[in-house]
Chains A and B, each alone.
Chain A
Amino acid sequence: NAGVTQTPKFQVLKTGQSMTLQCAQDMNHEYMSWYRQDPGMGLRLIHYSVGAGITDQGEVPNGYNVSRSTTEDFPLRLLSAAPSQTSVYFCASSKLDQETQYFGPGTRLLVL
C-alpha cells in the first residue's frame, strides 16, 4: 500500500511549455484533490474530484486542467506554464464518507 504518490519530485519548465503532474493513490479513495503551496499562503485548492468522470474547480483553477478517467489517477495539466505557477504542488485523497485527507510528497515546480 503506497498511499498517495506523485511524480516528478522536481521539474523546471520554460514559460509557455506544457506538462502533466501525476498523482496516483491505491486506497480506493473517491475524493482526490490538487493544492498549491506558496510561501506565506498556506495550501490553496486548485481542482478536485469526487469520483471518476467528475471534476470541479477549487479556489485557484486558472491555468490548470484536470481529468479523472480512473479512481486511482488524477493528473494535473499545465497547458502553458507561467512564472506565477512556480510552486509546490500537493495531491491529496480521501474516502467520501471520511474527512481525513492523505497527502502525497509533493512536486516542486520552477517556471523560468
Chain B
Amino acid sequence: GENVEQHPSTLSVQEGDSAVIKCTYSDSASNYFPWYKQELGKGPQLIIDIRSNVGEKKDQRIAVTLNKTAKHFSLHITETQPEDSAVYFCAASKGGSQGNLIFGKGTKLSVKP
C-alpha cells in the first residue's frame, strides 16, 4: 500500500523567513496530494492541494510543488507569520471513489516573532 514520509518533524523559523516541508510517496498510482494545517485542539484544515497533472500551485504565501518522477511533493510558505505556527500534514490518495488519504506523520512549525 501507499506510504508517505514527511520531513522534517519539527521546524523553527524567524518571522518573515520561508519554510519548506517535504514529503515522499511510494504508490505511483496516487494522484491527489493535499496539505492540512492543524492548530492546537482543532481538526486538520485543508490549506492547499495539487493533482498529478499539475507541477506547481500557489495561493498567496503558500505554494506546493510536485515531482511525479521522483514521487515527492513540497509545501513552501513564504514571509512566515506567527499565526502560521501549527502542525502541517501532507497526504496522498488515488482520488475519486478510492479517496482514502494516507498521511505523513506531521511537521510542527514554529514561527518566532
- Listed in ascending order, the chain A residues whose CB lies under 8 Å from chain B are 4, 31, 33, 35, 40-45, 48, 50, 58-59, 90, 94, 96-97, 99-106
* Contact of B61 with A by CB under 8 A: no
Which of A4, A40, A58 interacts with B105 by CB under 8 Å?
Answer: A40
Q: How far is the CB of B35 from chain A (nearest CB, A)?
A: 12
Beyond the given A42-B105, A45-B100, please list 8 additional residue pairs across the A-B interface where CB-CB is below 8 A: A40-B106, A42-B104, A43-B89, A43-B103, A45-B102, A99-B34, A99-B49, A99-B99
> Do A31 and B99 have beta carbons less than 8 Å apart?
yes
> Do B34 and A100 have beta carbons less than 8 Å apart?
yes
Q: How many Cβ-Cβ contacts under 8 Å join chain A to chain B? A: 59
Which of A44, A96, A102, A103 interacts with B99 by CB under 8 Å?
Answer: A96
Q: Using Cβ atoms and an 8 Å threshold, which residues of chain A touch B34?
A: 99-101
> Do A99 and B97 have beta carbons less than 8 Å apart?
no
> Do B100 and A33 have beta carbons less than 8 Å apart?
yes
Q: How far is the CB of A42 from chain B (nearest CB, A)?
A: 4
Q: How far is the CB of B85 from chain A (nearest CB, A)?
A: 18
Q: How far is the CB of B22 from chain A (nearest CB, A)?
A: 15
Would you list 16 pairs from A and B whose C-beta atoms are within 8 A, ordered by A residue? A40-B105, A40-B106, A42-B105, A44-B103, A48-B100, A90-B43, A96-B97, A96-B99, A99-B34, A99-B49, A99-B96, A100-B46, A103-B43, A103-B44, A104-B43, A105-B43
Q: How far is the CB of A6 from chain B (nearest CB, A)?
A: 8
> Do B99 and A94 have beta carbons less than 8 Å apart?
yes
A91: nearest residue on chain B (CB-CB)? B43
Nearest first, the 7 closest Cβ-Cβ pairs linking A and B are A103-B43, A42-B105, A42-B103, A43-B103, A99-B32, A103-B44, A105-B43
